[in-house]
């Protein structure tokens, strides 16, 4: 997601010899030519460990994409995700490594297009009404502006990688309700942010399906581990600020990676 500089902080059916077997996994070739695209949720911002040569993109060895590449038979790996990216950035700067030889593409994108940073800032610094208004604006952008941007981006990915399986990884609900040590971060604010995540998931899922891509819903995987949890896999307000409200290393290893593995095998 964009840097929070102003923030405190199916089933596939297989019929064999008359028997129908169902599996949720997409069959993946033994050796992948894999490309990982997207924003900071894909690059691994929040894990507090970054490749020195990734610069402001903040790509992490603990990001789900790198973890997947490290644990599978990968012939090539293009880690193109970049902190702060919106759909236009994917289209203009992240597709060059894709080709007819690319067999797997993952992408997390759309949160910045919906105004993630502004929502978090207004919810942390404003009252409940200001937070509600900010989330509502983000939801409107997600419903009314984001679909066309996703359609264009997904079409460009398909054109650049005509033979690839494409997995769209969604965003988690960020917060748990109840006791919380973050001042003025009320249950009402946390619930509205989670509501916005549900709207975003609906849009991402619908456009992925329309493109013939697979949507990987991460909300259940993070359940019980959001901000204000006693076992949080998502950072609250952090230093540096860019780490705020992003999955930490556990979030990538224990939530994102298993969800992706369930799809790819």
Q: Which residues are catalytic?
A: 40, 246
Closest CA to 38 of 159, 232, 204, 212: 204
C-alpha 24/C-alpha 143 separation (Å) is: 28
The Cα–Cα gap between 4 and 150 comes to: 23
To the nearest 10°, the Cα dihedral for 257, 46, 231, 109?
-50
Q: Report yes or no: 99 and 161 within 8 Å, Cβ to Cβ.
A: yes
Give Cβ neighbours of residue 87 (< 8 Å, ≥ 6 apart).
109, 110, 113, 146, 149, 150, 152, 153
Residue where the block lists tokens 């998931």? 201
Cα dihedral 81/84/90/96 (nearest 10)? -50
The DSSP 8-state label assigned to residue 228 in this structure reads T
Structure-token match 């193109």, residue found: 80
Q: Is 59 helix (H, G, I), strand (E, B) or coil?
A: coil
Per the DSSP assignment, residues forming a β-bridge with 175 are 227
């Amino acid at each position: 997601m964009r840097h929070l500089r102003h923030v405190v902080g199916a089933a596939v059916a297989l019929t064999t010899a008359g028997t129908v077997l169902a599996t949720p996994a997409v069959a993946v070739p033994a050796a992948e030519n894999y490309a990982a695209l997207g924003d900071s949720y894909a690059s691994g911002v929040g894990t507090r460990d970054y490749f020195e040569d990734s610069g402001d993109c903040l790509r992490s060895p603990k990001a789900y994409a790198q973890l997947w590449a490290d644990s599978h038979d990968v012939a090539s790996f293009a880690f193109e995700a970049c902190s702060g990216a919106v759909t236009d950035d994917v289209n203009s700067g992240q597709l060059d490594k894709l080709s007819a030889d690319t067999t797997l593409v993952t992408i997390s994108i759309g949160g910045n297009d919906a105004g993630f940073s502004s929502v978090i800032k207004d919810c942390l610094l404003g009252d409940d009404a200001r937070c509600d208004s900010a989330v509502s604006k983000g939801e409107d952008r997600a419903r009314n502006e984001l679909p066309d941007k996703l359609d264009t981006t997904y079409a460009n990915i398909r054109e650049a990688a005509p033979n690839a399986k494409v997995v769209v990884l969604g965003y988690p609900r960020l917060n748990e309700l109840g006791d919380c040590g973050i001042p003025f971060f009320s249950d009402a604010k946390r619930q509205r942010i989670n509501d916005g995540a549900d709207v975003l998931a609906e849009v991402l899922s619908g456009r992925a399906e329309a493109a013939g891509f697979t949507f990987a819903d991460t909300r259940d995987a993070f359940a019980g581990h959001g901000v204000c949890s006693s076992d949080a896999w998502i950072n609250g307000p952090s230093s540096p600020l860019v780490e705020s409200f992003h999955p930490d290393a556990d979030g990538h290893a224990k939530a994102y990676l298993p969800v992706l593995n369930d799809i790819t095998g």
